[in-house]
Amino acid sequence: MKFSLVAALVVVLALALGSESVSVVKREAPEIEKLTQYFQDLSAMLTRTTQDLVEKLKAHELAGQAQAYIEDGKTQLQPLAEKIQEQLKPLASNIEAQLKPLAESVQAQIKPMADTVQAQLEDIWQKLLDQTKALGQ
């Protein structure tokens, strides 16, 4: 805002100098024109800089608001997450208690079958080795 006022003041000053340059002697006119151009360029640069600064401030403000929103959401959800976790612990323990005997039962039923399959595979392997030796002789 202050930059805009300064820029406007510079423009008014440049225009005042430009209007006075008409009455100045012709030999000083190029210097006045250069000075007027300088002030116009300075005014344009200040205007661009002010606009860029305002945009950056808005962007920074939005980022700050987003961060505050995230922190607020995190603060609100943290107790809820802890409560859900506390409620799920007994459920998980209960499920584990129910599945453990079932898993032991299934394992007890499968072990004899697995032992039988292993013995059969060892027999097949031994027969294969014996046949290979017989072919080699």
Helices (H), the chain: 2-20, 29-136
Give the count of beta carbons closer than 10 Å to the beta carbon of residue 14: 19
- The number of C-alpha atoms within 13 Å of 88 and in the hemisphere containing its C-beta is 6
The conformation of residue 28, written as its DSSP 8-state character, comes to G
- The model's confidence at residue 116, banded by pLDDT at 50, 70 and 90, is very high
The pLDDT of residue 62 is above 90:
no
Mind listing the pLDDT tens digit for each residue in 8-44? 655 655 666 555 555 544 555 677 788 788 888 888 8
The pLDDT of residue 118 is above 90:
yes
pLDDT at 27: 53
The conformation of residue 137, written as its DSSP 8-state character, comes to -
pLDDT at 67: 87
The pLDDT of residue 1 is above 60:
no
| Highest averaged pLDDT of the listed ranges 18-27, 50-59, 117-126 | 117-126
pLDDT at 36: 83
Instruction: Report the alpha-carbon distance of residue 57 to residue 68 in Å, rounded.
Output: 16
- How many residues would you count in the chain? 137
CA-CA-CA-CA dihedral for 122, 126, 129, 134, to nearest 10: -160
Instruction: Report the alpha-carbon distance of residue 31 to residue 3 in Å, rounded.
Output: 27
CA 136 from chain centre, in angstroms, equals: 68
pLDDT at 125: 94
Instruction: Report the alpha-carbon distance of residue 2 to residue 130 in Å, rounded.
Output: 100
Quickly tell me which residue has 């323990």 as its tokens: 93
Q: What is the pLDDT averaged over residues 103-131? A: 92
